[in-house]
Structure 1
Amino acid sequence: MYCIFISVDLKPGAKARYLELIAENARASVEREPGCHTFDVLLDREQDNRVYLYEVYESPQALQAHKETPHYLRDREQINALIERQQVLRADVAGFFPPRG
């Protein structure tokens, strides 16, 4: 399994719209993409304009396929306009606890 953990710093006033758009993307990803196993949206408790995305894919190729889906491409321009800065950590999943099927 392949994971990306993204730290997203949003522009002032962008949080509500970003969360609306990213929730739609996350939901569609886990429902429609067999290679997407997890897409969690997390809110930082100390930095109000910081959001984290935790995404688990079958492989790096599944992540690439995600980036080519209609639901990803539809809102990408709007989502990017709301982001001040982001950092992406890429990792291999060593295990899930509890284990997943």
Structure 2
Amino acid sequence: MYIITVEYVIDPGHMLTFMDAVLENAETSLHKEQGCVQFDVSQSHDNPTQFFLYEQFVDEVAFQQHVESEHYLTFSQKVQPAVVSKSVRHWYSC
């Protein structure tokens, strides 16, 4: 499996926009992409402006299809003004 983790810090004034968009992106990815097998969105208990995404794909090709999909590109554009910082890591399951 090919795993992506993403850590976001969001501007407090854009929290609702980000939350709606990220949850919609996760749901759409799971339902429309055969290669997306898991997509979890978590919000920090201690700092509600911090979000952690755990995404699992069958392989790197499936992930590449994800980032090229219309719904991902729409999500990315929509949340851009909300993002203070973003850190992405790529993993392989053992």
Work out whether the TM-score is over 0.5.
Answer: yes
Secondary structure of the corresponding residue to residue 26 of structure 1: helix
Task: Give yes or no for the alignment of 1:84 onto 2:81.
Answer: no
Partner in structure 2 of residue 93 of structure 1: 93
Query: Matched residues in 2 for 1:47 and 1:92: separation?
Result: 28
Query: Matched residues in 1 for 2:75 and 2:46: separation?
Result: 27
Partner in structure 1 of residue 24 of structure 2: 24
Q: Higher Cα Rg: structure 1 or 2?
A: 1
Query: Matched residues in 2 for 1:23 and 1:48: separation?
Result: 15
Partner in structure 2 of residue 70 of structure 1: 70
Partner in structure 2 of residue 48 of structure 1: 48
* Number of residue-to-residue matches in the alignment: 94
AA paired with 1:47? N
Sequence identity of aligned pairs in percent? 28
- Could you tell me which runs of 5 or more consecutive residues in structure 2 were left unpaired when the two chains were aligned: none
Question: Which portions of structure 1, spanning 4 or more consecutive aligned residues, are displaced by more than 4 angstroms?
Answer: none
* TM-score, with length taken from structure 2: 0.93
1:29-71 Cα distance to aligned partner (Å, 9 max, x none): 0001000001110011111200011000111111110011111
- Could you tell me which runs of 5 or more consecutive residues in structure 1 were left unpaired when the two chains were aligned: 95-101
Query: Matched residues in 1 for 2:86 and 2:36: separation?
Result: 21
* Greater percentage in helix: 2
Partner in structure 2 of residue 14 of structure 1: 14
